[in-house]
Amino acid sequence: MHRRIPRSARTALTALAALPLLLTTACTGDGSAAAGAAAGGSGKGPVHITFWSALRGSQEVVDAYNKSQSRIHVDFQQIPSGNQGGYAKLSNAARAGNAPDVATLEYPQVPGFAIDGVARDITPLVGERLRKKLLPQALALTTFEGRTFSVPLDVEPMVFLYRRDLFERYDIAVPRTWAQFEQAARKIKRAAPGSRIATFPADGGTQLAGWAWQAGARWFDTRGGAWTVSMTDEPTRKVAAYWQRLIDEKLVFVNSVDTQEGSAQVGRGAVFGKLAGAWDAGGTMSSQPGQKGKWRVAPMPRWDLAHPRVGTHGGSTFAVTKDSRHPEEAMDFIEWQVSSPESLKARLSSGTSSAYPAATGLVPVARKAMDTSYFGGQDIYPLFRREAERISGQWKWGPRMTATLKTVQDRLARVGEGQGTVLDALRAGQRGTMPDLKSLGLNAREGSR
């Protein structure tokens, strides 16, 4: 889908084995883009930059930014979400040399667009002022060997959303560990045969990654100057065996969740809980308004209560592309987008959201906008804050996660029909990833199989 990298660029960076140095301008002082932006627009009217995003509320954010100053004007284009929508459009535009100045990338896509040279190395543009505002675990997911390629907007620790009324009706304790989660699943199946504790998502490659992440997995590792792919390492095998047992014993539903069927299961109360990123609290509020007051949020079950780490599910970042003629102005807009209270207020004006800001100073703005009555008065943001700080920092996404996750999900779709296993799906994902990495000219090897 993306172009091959020249050999000279492939040796530029050990961790990504190849990230081309595309940055052509740098900032002075504390590294803030604001000073450069002011100079760029001085005496010539506003500098125009383009911004592509599929995120809801982006138009409201752009309007607020354009009104807040006169040096820079952002021209916004809403693009489709998904791999065949916005990402394909961005890749095609970059090949033609007319990518937007600023593009939205989800975390799993950052390494691929960096390696392909679409996302510019913005390290000198990300000043200390902005770095200090961002949760370190979020910034680490967009930084490789000290080089930053996008700026996080939100970071979404995985949590357990659960129907408190149903757990109380059947006198079942909310699980704190994965062992307790399995025990609760058995009790629910016995007490309410048509219901299940949760759904194993056949379309949930990123959820499966988050569970493996929590257990200590390293699907991709760049130590030693090569990409090592180990999607069936020991922690992942533990996670796969756990979910396979729940699937085999029919303790969970197995189907796609982002479908009419998945929504109907939640709507009729057949699903007692959801394991997802923090953003899904707002998603549930929007999709199930009639269940107001019935839901609560708890931490994800732990493998080890003494080491309560978690993975993530979801979250978006902003990149400056290689084609931007105004990278400093683009960075000014990005910094305002991710760290300004006015920006978050504008985004939230478009609808309900429980996304956890990567700039943690914005959490009070998010809390104020949240209607806690949906969760029975529970203030969910202190829990999100604690969980975000427990995101394990060892994880790296691979260079071709779109293709990797598609292979995994194609196989997961068969698991519920008794064809293959969760581990088989992960093995297929690893096998399918290796040719992609080698076709990029990367030094890649397989770890656990």
pLDDT in tens, 18-73: 444 333 333 333 434 443 444 444 457 899 999 999 999 999 999 999 999 999 99
Q: How far apart are CA 287 and CA 58, in angstroms?
A: 21
Q: How far apart are CA 18 and CA 110, in angstroms?
A: 14
Q: Check whether 331 has a pLDDT greater than 60.
A: yes
Amino acid at 40: G
SS3 assignment, position 134: strand
Helix, strand, coil percentages for the chain (3-state, nearest 5): 45, 15, 40
pLDDT at 125: 98
Q: Tokens 């506003």 label which residue? A: 46
| C-alpha distance across the termini of the chain, in Å | 27
Q: Which long-range contacts (CB under 8 A, 24 or more apart) does 268-271 make?
A: 269/163, 269/166, 269/195, 270/194, 270/195, 270/196, 271/163, 271/195, 271/196, 271/197, 271/198, 271/199
Two tokens at 287? 């999709």
Give tens-digit pLDDT for 176-204: 999 999 999 999 999 999 999 999 999 99
Q: Check whether 3 has a pLDDT greater than 90.
A: no
Two tokens at 194? 């048509």
Contact 79, 53 (CB under 8 A): yes
Q: How far apart are CA 344 and CA 347, in angstroms?
A: 5
Q: Which of 143-147, 288-292, 301-305, 331-335 has the lowest mean pLDDT?
A: 143-147
Query: Which is more confidently placed, 416 or 61?
Result: 61
Give tens-digit pLDDT for 353-401: 999 999 999 999 999 999 999 999 999 999 999 999 999 988 999 999 9
Could you tell me which residues come within 8 angstroms of residue 284 by beta carbon, excluding any fewer than 6 positions away?
A: 161, 266, 274, 291, 295
pLDDT at 350: 95
Could you tell me which residues come within 8 angstroms of residue 245 by beta carbon, excluding any fewer than 6 positions away?
A: 182, 251
Q: What angle is formed at CA 119 by the lines to CA 65 and CA 53, rounded to 5 degrees?
A: 40
User: Do β-strands 220-221 and 227-229 pair in parallel, antiparallel, or remain unpaired?
Assistant: antiparallel
pTM of the full structure: 0.90
Q: Which of 14-28, 136-150, 268-282, 358-372 has the lowest mean pLDDT?
A: 14-28
